[in-house]
């Protein structure tokens, strides 16, 4: 992630992984979530923080999940079930279960199918937020498979040439194992930035870069601006700007970001039978996960050797003027994980205040920074 | 495509689809390609022209295919074969066969597998150029399936923060059927523009837009520039600029275009067992096609109804200031096909001159503009 989204060193309070995991598990327990699911949910959130993906970690997501459980929009004990199935595919009704809990179970099904017939592909309708999409994609790695995850979200992004948000930030994640190098892990919104980054920018007081948003007439703003309130169709407050698809302007290729976002709406939304982001009466998420068995195509050991070679080829690229190295998707997150295992996870004081409040409210012992 | 890539009306010579198809078929016949394959090859090229995708049509590709057959790098009678197979997957050794001929056969296999188990996925190693990627993806439509196609190409694109091209333009195509509306067809390079667009810009004398290329130090050029000779690792001539991944700069999201390009290298290249674009001794292409049966996930009629509704939702978006409509991927190509069916395909005189020469050389009657 961009340096500008890191919590400043002098403000950061460091929290250890184990302690954070315990506290988060307790919060889910108090929401009425079954014990195993509490641990799973904490794993998804804490792994995001360990990888440096704070946009989808504890600090940015947990409070919204708590709100969702409290207002009834998220079901703590969903009766999720497969509503259609073939040897390579399944479609799941998630029964309003939180995506960070139901999606790993869908990915387990996809992995099992890929073991049997080479590929497994599962759609999920009536879902809720699934956290860091790459968590689910990465589940395939230990099975020597390539994992994929997409999620069709409520609208906040303009189509190319449009002045109203009609698509979600609709992220795409793909993970592929290497041999000695950390796995390839791509995970990105199809908008210029993830919607959560606008929230983080607000919290950290950072400006938005040119090309990230358009004004309310749909005209891309190409110079740096102060963080606005993001526009959400039907949301509260007056929108002052809207997110753009990656590519920013038609000339620079925003139709490509727009098209990739459409693909996520089709595979995660429409193909799940649950409709798409802006579908009337659908304040939810549609998910898509897939697993491809490497051995179904070629020798797995050779695949991993070639991945290592390819990663080293990319990272040995001569750096551009002003930069000191070229990296591949997954490198920074692996480095950040090692660093946070040693030093803890840096949180903004505002996040710690929220934790103190929620722990006190739920009678959970607060010990995040005294360990 | 951008208006700037259209052949100017006053220069254009109009050619009828049927006549063009006959002439192109004859050219392949003279290259020693079996009769059925000649018709298939002509279909792939002419369909690109009919859809207005001149970058991948007759004018831009046929001469390079003729060169490839003549210098022996393309095999006119490949003994392509499946080298590994499971119920949902296959891997094919293309035996240096031209991708526009072998890839449709791979897609037939993927479709058959999707009929049997819900999904079919086929990789192709040792391949050659596959033309317009969406041709292969669109083959799934008549079977009520979603089609996907990717191709890992020789390097011409910089990784984010890099000053040497290490990735191909690596396009991604996905086609999904609708009901009454034309199908959704996305097909785009993961670079800011397709490599062929630089050649077209040269021919038409158009400038390149800001954000499309970097200088030889890897620094993105953000203002409009004259069309340069594109940089190809190990290619002839001194490179004066390199293509950028979509997103253009790290701040605007070039790591997303770079990551999507990596995905194509992994699925089309590494997973085919044939290595990736810049792999030493690999002056070829690796392909990936897939078909997903809609009925394996949900009721097909409902999917198509929702697709129509979703398309109308996108196209009814309030247009941005300065624009008169919002479209979805596939709309312009459907309109262009209708127009070209009525009026013929506009070709630049330089293309017609090449046709006159090659027809004379191969003793094929030249009648493209006298019909």
**Residue ranges of domains in chain A:** 1-77+344-370, 80-192+244-329
Whether the pLDDT of residue B230 is over 70: the answer is no
Whether the pLDDT of residue A371 is over 60: the answer is no
Q: Residue A270: what pLDDT? A: 96
Lowest mean per-residue pLDDT among A106-115, A350-359, B39-48: A350-359
Per-residue pLDDT, averaged over B109-130, amounts to 97
Torsion sign (Cα): B201, B202, B205, B209: positive
Reported as a single tens digit per residue, the pLDDT across A295-319 is 999 999 999 999 999 999 999 999 9
Alpha-carbon distance A368 to A339, whole Å? 18
* pLDDT band with cut points at 50, 70 and 90 for residue B184: very high
First-to-last alpha carbon distance for chain B, in angstroms, is 28
Chain A residues lying within 8 Å of B217, measured CB to CB? 320-321
What fold does the segment set B80-192+244-329 form as a domain?
Ribosomal Protein S8; Chain: A, domain 1 (3.30.1370)
Could you tell me if B82 lies within 8 Å of chain A, comparing CB atoms?
Answer: no
Chain B residues lying within 8 Å of A313, measured CB to CB? 166, 276, 278
Per-residue pLDDT, averaged over B120-143, amounts to 97
Cβ-defined contact of B188 to A255 (cutoff 8 Å): yes
Alpha-carbon distance B257 to B243, whole Å? 12
Cβ-defined contact of B146 to A327 (cutoff 8 Å): no
Site of tokens 């011409």: B156
**Contact between residue A315 and residue A181 where contact means Cβ atoms under 8 Å apart:** no
* pLDDT band with cut points at 50, 70 and 90 for residue A259: very high
What stretch of H or E contains B93? strand B89-93
Those residues whose C-beta lies under 8 Å from the C-beta of residue B7, and which sit 6 or more positions away, are B54, B204, B346, B347, B348
Lowest mean per-residue pLDDT among A323-327, B147-151, B223-227, B267-271: B223-227
Q: Residue A125: what pLDDT? A: 96
**pLDDT above 70 as % of chain A:** 94
* pLDDT band with cut points at 50, 70 and 90 for residue A235: very low
Cβ-defined contact of A166 to B218 (cutoff 8 Å): no
Tokens found for residue A25: 């598990």
Chain A residues lying within 8 Å of B327, measured CB to CB? 161
Per-residue pLDDT, averaged over B331-350, amounts to 95
Reported as a single tens digit per residue, the pLDDT across B247-295 is 999 999 999 999 999 999 999 999 999 988 777 666 689 999 999 999 9
Cβ-defined contact of A186 to B218 (cutoff 8 Å): no
Q: Residue B178: what pLDDT? A: 98
Could you tell me if B316 lies within 8 Å of chain A, comparing CB atoms?
Answer: no
* pLDDT band with cut points at 50, 70 and 90 for residue B4: low
Chosen for mutation from B114, B141, B247, B325 (greatest number of chain A CBs closer than 10 Å) is B247
Could you tell me if B135 lies within 8 Å of chain A, comparing CB atoms?
Answer: no
Return the higher-pLDDT residue of A370 and A179: A179
Q: Residue B284: what pLDDT? A: 81
Considering chain B, what is the average pLDDT of its residues?
91
Q: Residue B205: what pLDDT? A: 78
**Contact between residue A227 and residue A207 where contact means Cβ atoms under 8 Å apart:** yes
* pLDDT band with cut points at 50, 70 and 90 for residue B216: very high
Q: Residue B104: what pLDDT? A: 98
Reported as a single tens digit per residue, the pLDDT across B154-166 is 999 999 999 999 9
Reported as a single tens digit per residue, the pLDDT across B123-132 is 999 999 999 9
Cβ-defined contact of A271 to B298 (cutoff 8 Å): yes
- From the centroid of its chain, how far is CA B119? 23
Whether the pLDDT of residue A15 is over 80: the answer is yes
**Contact between residue A259 and residue A239 where contact means Cβ atoms under 8 Å apart:** no
This prediction's pTM = 0.95
Q: Residue A39: what pLDDT? A: 98
Q: Residue B19: what pLDDT? A: 94
Site of tokens 């315990």: A22
What's phi and psi for B256, nearest 5 deg?
-75, -45
Q: Residue A369: what pLDDT? A: 79
Q: Residue B364: what pLDDT? A: 93
* pLDDT band with cut points at 50, 70 and 90 for residue B233: very low
- Residue B240 Cα distances to A181, A321, B163, B216, B246, angstroms: 33, 15, 12, 6, 19
**Contact between residue B367 and residue B13 where contact means Cβ atoms under 8 Å apart:** no
Whether the pLDDT of residue A233 is over 50: the answer is no
Q: Provide the ipTM.
A: 0.95
Chain A residues lying within 8 Å of B231, measured CB to CB? none
Q: Residue B234: what pLDDT? A: 38
One CATH from 1.10.287.110, 1.10.1530.10, 3.30.9.10, 1.10.3720.10 for A1-77+344-370: 1.10.1530.10
Q: How many CB atoms lie within 10 A of CB A8?
A: 10
Whether the pLDDT of residue B108 is over 90: the answer is yes
Whether the pLDDT of residue B344 is over 60: the answer is yes
Rounded to the nearest angstrom, the minimum Cα separation between A356 and chain B is: 35
Q: Please, what's the b/e burial string for B174-190 (b: 16 or more CB within 10 A of its CB; e: otherwise)?
A: bbbbbbebbbbbbbbbb
Burial of B71 (0-12, 13-18, 19+ CB in 10 A): exposed
Reported as a single tens digit per residue, the pLDDT across A86-139 is 999 999 999 999 999 999 999 999 999 999 999 999 999 999 999 999 999 999
* pLDDT band with cut points at 50, 70 and 90 for residue B235: very low
Cβ-defined contact of B292 to A271 (cutoff 8 Å): yes
Could you tell me if B92 lies within 8 Å of chain A, comparing CB atoms?
Answer: no
The residue among A146, A144, A121, A166 whose CA lies nearest residue A258 is: A166
Alpha-carbon distance A143 to A41, whole Å? 21
Could you tell me if B319 lies within 8 Å of chain A, comparing CB atoms?
Answer: yes
**Contact between residue B245 and residue A186 where contact means Cβ atoms under 8 Å apart:** no
Could you tell me if A158 lies within 8 Å of chain B, comparing CB atoms?
Answer: yes
Tokens found for residue A329: 């998707």
Q: Residue A5: what pLDDT? A: 60
Tokens found for residue B46: 């002419």
* pLDDT band with cut points at 50, 70 and 90 for residue B192: very high
The three-point CA angle A307-A312-A315 to 5° equals: 125
**Contact between residue B305 and residue B179 where contact means Cβ atoms under 8 Å apart:** yes
Alpha-carbon distance B287 to B6, whole Å? 29
Q: Residue B280: what pLDDT? A: 65
* pLDDT band with cut points at 50, 70 and 90 for residue A282: low
Per-residue pLDDT, averaged over B71-77, amounts to 96
Q: Residue A254: what pLDDT? A: 96
Of chain A residues 22-81, which have a CB less than 8 A from chain B? none
Of B159, B174, B211, the CB nearest to A326: B159
Per-residue pLDDT, averaged over B3-20, amounts to 82
Q: Residue B8: what pLDDT? A: 79
Per-residue pLDDT, averaged over B86-105, amounts to 98
3-class SS of residue B112: helix
Q: Residue A237: what pLDDT? A: 44
Alpha-carbon distance A251 to B4, whole Å? 11
Tokens found for residue A183: 């796995």
Q: Give the single-character DSSP code of B269.
A: I
**Contact between residue A97 and residue A74 where contact means Cβ atoms under 8 Å apart:** yes
């Amino acid at each position: 992630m961009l340096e500008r989204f890191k919590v400043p060193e002098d403000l950061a309070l460091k929290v250890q992984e184990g302690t954070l995991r315990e506290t988060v598990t307790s919060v889910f327990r108090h929401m009425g979530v079954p014990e195993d699911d509490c641990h799973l949910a904490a794993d998804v959130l804490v792994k995001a923080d360990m990888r440096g993906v704070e946009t989808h970690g504890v600090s940015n997501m947990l409070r919204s999940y708590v709100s969702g459980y409290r207002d009834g929009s998220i079901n703590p004990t969903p009766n999720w079930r497969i509503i259609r199935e073939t040897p390579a595919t399944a479609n799941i009704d998630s029964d309003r279960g939180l995506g960070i809990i139901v999606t790993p179970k869908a990915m387990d099904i996809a992995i099992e199918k890929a073991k049997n017939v080479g590929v497994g592909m599962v759609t999920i309708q009536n879902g809720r937020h699934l956290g860091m999409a790459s968590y689910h994609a990465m589940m395939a790695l230990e099975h020597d498979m390539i994992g994929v995850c997409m999620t069709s979200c409520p609208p906040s992004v303009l189509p190319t040439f449009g002045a109203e948000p009609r698509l979600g930030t609709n992220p795409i994640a793909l993970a592929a194992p290497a041999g000695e190098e950390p796995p390839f892990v791509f995970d990105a919104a199809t908008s210029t930035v993830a919607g959560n980054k606008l929230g983080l920018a607000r919290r950290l007081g950072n400006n938005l870069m040119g090309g990230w948003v358009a004004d309310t007439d749909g005209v891309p703003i190409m110079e740096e601006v102060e963080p606005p309130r993001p526009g959400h169709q039907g949301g509260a407050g007056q929108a002052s700007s809207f997110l753009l698809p990656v590519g920013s302007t038609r000339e620079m290729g925003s139709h490509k970001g727009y098209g990739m976002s459409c693909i996520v709406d089709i595979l995660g939304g429409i193909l799940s039978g649950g409709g798409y982001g802006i579908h009337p009466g659908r304040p939810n998420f549609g998910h898509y996960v897939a697993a491809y068995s490497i051995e179904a195509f070629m020798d797995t050991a050779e695949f991993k050797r070639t991945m290592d070679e390819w990663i080293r080829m990319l990272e040995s690229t001569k750096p551009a003027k002003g930069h000191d190295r070229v990296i591949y998707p997954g490198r920074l997150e692996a480095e950040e994980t090692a660093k946070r295992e040693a030093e803890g996870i840096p949180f903004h004081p505002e996040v710690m205040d929220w934790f103190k409040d929620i722990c006190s409210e739920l009678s959970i012992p607060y010990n995040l920074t005294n360990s």
